[in-house]
A and B are shown apart, each in its own frame.
Chain A
Amino acid sequence: MGLNIVVCVKPIPDPKYYNEITIDPVTKTVKRQGIPTIINPIDKHAIEKALKIKEQHGGKVILMSMAPPDAQETLLEGLAMGADETYLLSDRKFAGADTLATSYVLARGIQKIGEIDLVLTGTESGDGATAQVSSQLGEWLGFSHLWGVVNCEVKSQDDIYLKTKIENGYMEWSGKLPMVFAVSREINTPRYTSIMGVMKAKKKPFTIWSFQDLDLDEVYVGLKGSPTQPGDIFSPDMGRKGEILKISKEEAVELIIEKLRANGINIESFFSGCVRGERNE
């Protein structure tokens, strides 16, 4: 059958280090120096899914990202996993885009490639975590779309089975291509990249498109094209007593029980350990 699949991947600062992020009180900007950039972890599950579909039906796996030019290095990892080529959409004009403006540019990129059957994304990005780009991408493309896919079988163009998670359960769907869907972590385990894969990756096609290369209406692009605008930023209020206690396990249990009782939990009695006398007979 041969399917053309686009996977949208976002380079982000590695979430492992988010505890180290601070806000500069003077400039009111986020300080994230020294934190490495990686492919948004969930997006690797989307790449994995695309590769599996390609293994089954043939076709092409194309990576697409809207990011600054230095994302090139990061995106190589996706190619090393086995994707065929990459399109990086990069222009100063794209800066400050919210999800609507981001998905608009991505959609135009996908339309320029043409004849795409399936678009995969992750459910959410680690940094912004809006979980909105995939649905809005579907809207710009005029494709049906689903979010939170935990299982998907592509039997043919017109026969797709999908399962999405919801609170305390799941939904099942049947669908037809073309479509956009956002995959969850549970869908699979992404493959590791091999040395061979990394070497091959460097030779794969890598295209950079700027504003001019795409058929874009400026009203929808970048900060100006974004309906949402950022205001003040601040750190969450964590104000706690932060009393650190070096106590025995019995004392720890005692403290917890006391607090449970204070919260109206009825605990009858408990063994709180023995204390021996000091006197020598």
Chain B
Amino acid sequence: MNKDIWVYVEQIEGKITNVSLELLSEAHRLKTKMQRPGQVVAVIIGSQLEELISTVQEYGAQKIYVADDKSLKLYEPQYYAAILKKLIKENDPHILLVGASALGSQLAPTVAAKVKTGVAAHCVELKISENDQLVAVVPAFGGKVLGDILCPKNRPQIASIKQGILDKPVKIEAVGEVIKVDLSFLTQVKTNLKPLKICREEPKGVPLEEAEIVICGGWGVGDQDTWHYLEKIAEKIGGAVACTRPPVDEGWAPGEHVMIGTSGKSVRPKLYLGFGISGATHHICGMKDSGLIISINRDENAEIFKVSDYGIIGDIKQVLPLLAEAVTK
């Protein structure tokens, strides 16, 4: 029985995703809460990973399993999950943390089904109980209810977490023994899928997850022209534009990658400005932990006011142009 905490370090196109580093820091935090802690161990899968290893060490991995092969260049669920399964069977880790990215959200349950254990999905908080078990807090009903999830009998106890929910990663230099995973078994892995290519675009401006100021528009923004004011303001003050579901559907917002909430991103900026947002729990669960929340809505009973520090009753069609003028002068 060991109490090792594993972190799946996701890399895409040779870059480690931010959530992976957040998870390494979280693993160290959890370790300090344990009576009899084990090690923080990283697993990284991909092709040509040499350059990434030092980063994994800098963020505190005390041991690193490296699965490096040409065939692993692009994510493929059966290959990636088979590697994790093999490592888990051989080493019996206590906890496995996975970033709830698009690929991680698939990998975690796949691995869990292979080793017959449980996953607490899209956690908002992780805790350790008296007997060193993981207690994961997960949202239900669009974030209106939170519940503790335990995985008492099976190991590892897996949890997936979205980027931006945990604290910013901190460097904790570790020696980080590197172990190359023997991949000869991969030829036996059967799959009906072949990843052809991956295409990504770096979003312009400040990334939403890193922005200190988030300017969020909802259905109440009303039209594309009014939407442009949000962009103008964000650009000027170095913030990021975000949205609720309707502006994605209407095509005012660039896409789901700037949507906040259950099916979108979780953010914790210093300042959140919300325009024309009703405050559905699906949205609130992604922004309620922001520093200061100011929202503007013409409906004085809007739910969003309950999670706001300042709720301004007003017409955003009037406020936005004025605000844009004020900041761009």
Contacts and interface: CB of A to CB of B under 8 A. Distances in A.
On whether the two chains bind one another, the answer is yes
Given A172-B197, A173-B196, A244 B213 contact: no
A170 B255 CA distance: 13
Interface residues of A, number: 86
A259 B319 CA distance: 16
Contact of B294 (A146, A236, A259): A259
Contacts of B122: 129-131
Nearest to B273: A256
Interface in B137-155: 138-154
Contacts of A222: none
B194 A173 contact: yes
A252 B145 contact: no
Interface residues of B, number: 100
Nearest to A267: B327
Interface string B311-324: 11111001100110
Given A139-B110, A270-B327, A169 B198 contact: yes
Contacts of A145: 77, 106, 110
Contacts of A249: 314-315, 318-319, 322
The 5 lowest CB-CB distance pairs between A and B, nearest first, are A231-B148, A227-B118, A169-B200, A228-B118, A139-B113
Interface of B: 12, 17, 74-75, 77-78, 101-103, 105-106, 108-110, 112-114, 116-122, 124, 135, 138-154, 191-203, 212-213, 237-238, 256-257, 262-263, 270-271, 273, 279-282, 284-285, 288, 291-294, 296, 300, 303, 305-315, 318-319, 322-323, 325-327, 329
28 contacts: A15-B141, A19-B279, A129-B263, A131-B122, A139-B114, A146-B77, A166-B102, A172-B195, A172-B196, A173-B193, A173-B194, A175-B193, A231-B148, A233-B148, A235-B146, A240-B293, A240-B308, A246-B300, A247-B314, A252-B312, A256-B323, A259-B294, A260-B237, A263-B212, A265-B213, A268-B329, A269-B329, A271-B326
